[in-house]
Amino acid sequence: MQTLVLASTSRYRAELLARLRIPFSCARPDVDESALTGESPRALAQRLAEAKARAVAAQYPHSRVIGSDQVAELEGKPLGKPGTAEAALAQLAAMSGKSVRFHTAVCVISAAELLHALDLTTVRFRTLGQTEIERYVAAEQPLDCAGSFKCEGLGISLFEAIDNQDPTALIGLPLIRLAQLLRKAGYQLP
């Protein structure tokens, strides 16, 4: 079986992939994550997942590479990772009382094949007060997370509901879809 490489240095994605109990390594993809003019959040997530996988596959031509990307969508527009506390506060305030869609794409690539899948998760946010948004951002520092929250932590308290088929997708790597792709590629999973 080919060596498996995760095209990501995200600890969240690495922790998720480790659940499948398949040996893997991680490599940083060098990819511009800017959206193209007129590109939908769904298309952006798919393009970036494949671009990340291809970038790392070029470094590891005899390996099978997993690329993944997640794009949050609020009212038809993509939301990136906030990067700063101020941007996280603004994102959470904008999402207060609204539904946000998360497009999580995954791509598995080797020299012989390209497999891909997409998960859509919809999160309904509670109406959030400014003070509770500030407390949340100070407590969890979700600056490297699309949508400015960590659903696997305290961020779950910000929601009214989550609608999805794969709970791991919201964390950044849809394991149900990925396991399907890996089985199709010949990996033996339970």
Catalytic residues: 69
H or E segment at 24? none
Distance of CA 153 to the CA centre of its chain: 16
Alpha helices (H) in the chain, listed in sequence order: 11-18, 41-59, 85-95, 130-140, 175-184
Output Rg (C-alpha) for the chain, integer angstroms: 17
Place of tokens 């040996």: 23
- Helix axis angle for 11-18 and 175-184, nearest 10°, is 60
Q: How far apart are alpha carbons 63 and 105 in whole angstroms?
A: 20
Secondary structure percentages of the chain, helix, strand, coil, to 5: 35, 25, 40
